[in-house]
Structure 1
Amino acid sequence: MKRQRAWIGGSILALAIAVLGSDSAVDTAQSFTIPTACANPALCASLCGGFVEQGRTEGDFVRLASYQLGAPQPMDLPAATLSTPAPVDPKNVYAGAGAGMFSPAVAGQLSRVYSPNLITGKVDVIDPDTFKVIDSLDAIPSPQHIVPSWDLQTLWVSGDLSYRGGHADVAPIDPKTGKVGKPIDVPDSYNLYFTPDGRSAIMVAEAMRRLEFRDPHTMALQGYIATPRCPGINHADFAPDGSYAIFTCEFGDALAKIDLVHHTLAGMLALTPGGMPQDIRVSPDGSVFFVADLLKDGLVLVAGDSFREIGFIKTGVGAHGLYPSRDGTKLYVSNRGTHNIAGVRNGQGSVSVVDMTSPRVLATWTIPGGGSPDMGNISADGKWLWLSGRYDGVIYAFDTDDGSVKTIPVGGMPHGLTVWPQPGRYSLGHTGVMR
């Protein structure tokens, strides 16, 4: 889940979801759905460049307010000079990102926690040794995630288009200096991943229901895959051999499987009704994908190759983010503490520790006084789990030995933070999906 929606009432939200779900109204060659923040005509007038409903049907509204992007173009990919690196251990895709296993590529980079804040528009910088905020960066107007590049040389700040009238940016941070470079204008940069072979960045254009393949350095468009039946396309993880990725459809209670060899939408999987899939993470052996579900309060288990739902694990209220331990045996699940998509302060937030081999819940860590743990990552030594407290204006650092927590006030709405540098040979994106 994403974006602040405290100002969206129930009826507006219902319209937003109805619009996002009306696939019959989507012309995949030209028109894509509007962001949920623009579901109200008055908001569209101010936030989306004067889009108005004019009393028409939802289908007409989608067409009227959609982004005219032209027909899909053939993929213009560079020659395959790289292949997906083989796993260090075929039985553990995380074996190359164990404690302290730094690539030479991160030598000289600053040890920092970078936390984007949607309300303040800043990127807060924390010293992980002192647990104190030491800087506040201007990057892009609506920062959502801090995303390590495939080659580990750049931290990209991705943003939310709905706060800029239909525009978004990505901005690079130099991890050696902590300085922000020149932003690059893109249509929608809500989330960002990288293909396992490093040839492309995958810009998750959630509001437009498409995956944009871009040059991983310049962000020049290489082509895109339309996903018209995946409203709220958002988080992803990848098969061990890099042949496919599975993306969650937050507003569609479904998953999209993307063929990364032929660059096509390979299929859709409708999950058991009543859910809202969030983050997704592959098991160490690559056979199962764990899908956090905000409304089901747990993890949906999906067999990746056969692409079918095979199980469920109850964790906590509002399951959202997923982070593997440094040895790849455990999965830390951030439970947001509420089903309210606008968020609540001091909710029933917690972290569940899941044994990925059983799989079963080993422990649950609560937050004194309540909270809203959201997104983040693990420290390089595996001793701390850093998470944004999205609706409480704080950053959490959980001790992975006993679950005790330190709280760092930052105000506003912190979201997709990352801890850097991370162990690993390369990054698949998001807040640090490392291999």
Structure 2
Amino acid sequence: MTGCASPDATTAPEGDETAGTEEPAAPAAEEEPPAPAGGETGAEPPEATAEVHEASRRAPVENVYAGAMGSEVREDLRGIPERVYVPNVVDGTVSVIDPKTFEIVDSYAVGELPYHVTPSWDMTELYVNNEASGTFTVIDPKTGRPKETIEAPFPYNFYYTPDGETAVVVAERIQTLEFRDADTWEILGSVYVPWPGVDHIDFAADGSYLLASSEWSGVVSKVDVEGMKLVDHAEVGGLPIDIKLSPDGSVFYVANQGTMGLSVIDPETMEEVEFIPTGQGAHGLQISRDTKSLYVSNRLDGTITVLDLATREIVDTWTTGGTPDMFQLSPDGRQLWVSGRFDGAVYVVDTETGELLSTIYTGAEPHGIAYFPNPGRFSLGHNGVYR
């Protein structure tokens, strides 16, 4: 079972409506494919030692997103055309939008069930997660076009550890987090998650552990990244989906489509310390450019909740209509781009006024859109999570 819950259900998976009745076979073993980019940025990644991790845990975290708060992209990315890449899950295509004109400027076939478009850690390439094909389609952002294909088992989602050394393939269909060397693509290990539906993750400020949502089980797992082992879990019920670390690194926010709001999790005790109702079908999360707000898509309500992160109070609700799903911000933070999963559209919202600026019709079931390039030192993956 893959993907996220259908718009009119809160308990059944949507896999049947997109993947057909037969599970595709795992990719056949072949020669090692080329490795995704992730290590050639000219800067040495931080050492991932136990001592460094322990020092990071003791030190106060001011803002984990500080490196992505400006409006300018990295100097080496400034010649890349701004584009919004939209994976159309059912069509097996990617639509490419020019954000200046709101027009589709390109479209091409990729693999089967492309759920997300993921920027590499060093932001030199984009990876389309073709879940049913067991492949990534690699896009060169300089041209906006595909250039090669890489094999991996059932890649529903794709992430990088904060140090950029390890790629994490989220294989929801086989309940596995697969850890690979980001440079060589060698398999380093894997973690089997005993609760079905693992699909979204985020990392602690120091990268020593991650939290993973298991959508169909109402569980959030804690995984030791260095040891590659499951160490704890929290039962939140419902359908936990997208997950984001708070700017101060103290808690994780989990969108819960089944309980219609946000579960706030203390990662030390692995307990839900607060629940914040937002709307029917709470699904996707995005931190604002100034890191003062958290945007929550309520897919069954057709709305976006704006949460003040300092007070954890809801300060506004914006209406998109349709089925708002996954988010991306424009580099200046003034536009929120939202995939409309079950009405084949992308919505563009003004973050100052909440006004719906445009509805752009793409293909069948657009999901994990990527607005690229974007500010940040590096990408943690998913459809563009920057620090």
Q: TM-score, normalised by structure 2?
A: 0.87
C-alpha displacement of 1:5: 8.1
**Corresponding position: 1:321 with 2:280:** no
Q: Which residue of 2 aligns with 1:120?
A: 91
Among candidates 362, 366, 386, match of residue 315 of structure 2:
362
Shift of 1:411: 3.1
Partner of residue 112, structure 2 = 141
2:178 aligned residue (212, 218, 224): 212
Shift of residue 117, structure 1, vs aligned partner: 0.3
Q: CA deviation at 1:267?
A: 1.2
CA-CA distance at 1:48 after TM superposition: 3.7
* Residue aligning to 2:163: 197
Could you tell me which residue of structure 2 aligns to residue 264 of structure 1?
A: 229
- Within 2, Cα distance between the matches of 1:281 and 1:114? 22
Q: Indicate yes or no: 2:296 matched with 1:333.
A: yes
1:330 deviates by 0.3
1:171-215 deviation per Cα after TM superposition (whole angstroms, max 9, x unaligned): 111111112022112221110010111111100011111111123
How far 1:372 sits from its partner (Å)? 0.3
Match of 1:63 in 2: none
* 2:345 paired residue number: 394
Residues 207-356 of structure 1 correspond to what in structure 2 (within 5 A)? 207-217=173-183, 219-227=185-193, 229-271=194-236, 273=237, 275-337=238-300, 348-356=301-309
Quick one: distance in 2 between partners of 1:238 and 1:373? 25
Partner amino acid, structure 1, of 2:303: S
Which residue of the other structure, out of 373, 382, 385, is the alignment partner of 1:430?
Answer: 382
State the SS of the aligned residue for 1:391.
helix
Q: How does 1:369-408 map to 2 (within 5 A)?
A: 370-405=321-356, 406-408=358-360
Q: How many angstroms does 1:67 deviate by?
A: 10
CA-based RMSD of the aligned residues comes to 2.9
Query: Residue 402 and residue 2 in structure 1: after superposition, are their counterparts in 2 closer, same or farther (change >3 A)?
Result: farther
1:47-94 deviation line (CA, Å, top 9, x unaligned): 445xxxxxxxxxxxxxxxx9999xxxxxxxx9x96436989x932111
1:402 partner letter: T
Q: Is the 8 A contact 1:105 1:151 kept in 2?
A: no
Supply the distance in 1 between the matched residues of 2:163 and 2:319 (Cα, whole angstroms): 39
Q: Name the % identity.
A: 41
Pick one of 67, 70, 78 that aligns with 1:107. Answer: 78
Q: Which residue identity is paired with 2:254?
A: V
Check conservation: 1:113, 1:417, Cα contact below 8 A.
Answer: yes
Partner residue in 1 for 2:36: none
Instruction: Measure the CA separation in 2 of the matches of 1:2 and 1:216.
Output: 25
Larger fraction in strand:
2
Asked whether 1:414 is paired with 2:366, we answer yes
Counterpart AA for 1:83 = E
* Selected match of 1:83 from 47, 62, 65: 47
Q: How many residues align?
A: 363
Contact 1:299 1:312 survives alignment (8 Å): yes
Q: Which residue of 2 aligns with 1:55?
A: none
Query: CA–CA distance in 1 between the matches of 2:333 and 2:211?
Result: 26
Q: Secondary structure at the match of 1:374?
A: strand
2:154 is matched with 188
Is this contact kept in 2: 1:117–1:124, CA < 8 A? yes
Letter of the aligned partner of 2:364 in structure 1?
G
Residues 1:414 and 1:217: Cα distance change in structure 2 (over 3 Å): farther
**Bigger Cα Rg:** 1
Q: 1:175 and 2:141 equivalent?
A: yes
1:219 Cα deviation (Å)? 3.6
Q: Deviations over 1:261-289 (max 9, x none)?
A: 22211112112x3x110101111111011
| Greater displacement, 127-136 / 214-223 | 214-223
Q: Which has the higher contact order (CA 8 A, sep 6+)?
A: 2
Cα distance change on mapping 1:217 and 1:140 into 2, 3 Å = farther
Deviations 1:235-272 (A, max 9, x none): 1111111111100010110111011122211112112x
- Flag structure 1 segments of 5+ consecutive residues without an equivalent: 18-34, 50-65, 70-77, 162-166, 338-347
> Aligned letter for 1:204?
V
CA 1:352–1:4 in 2, change beyond 3 Å: closer, same or farther?
closer
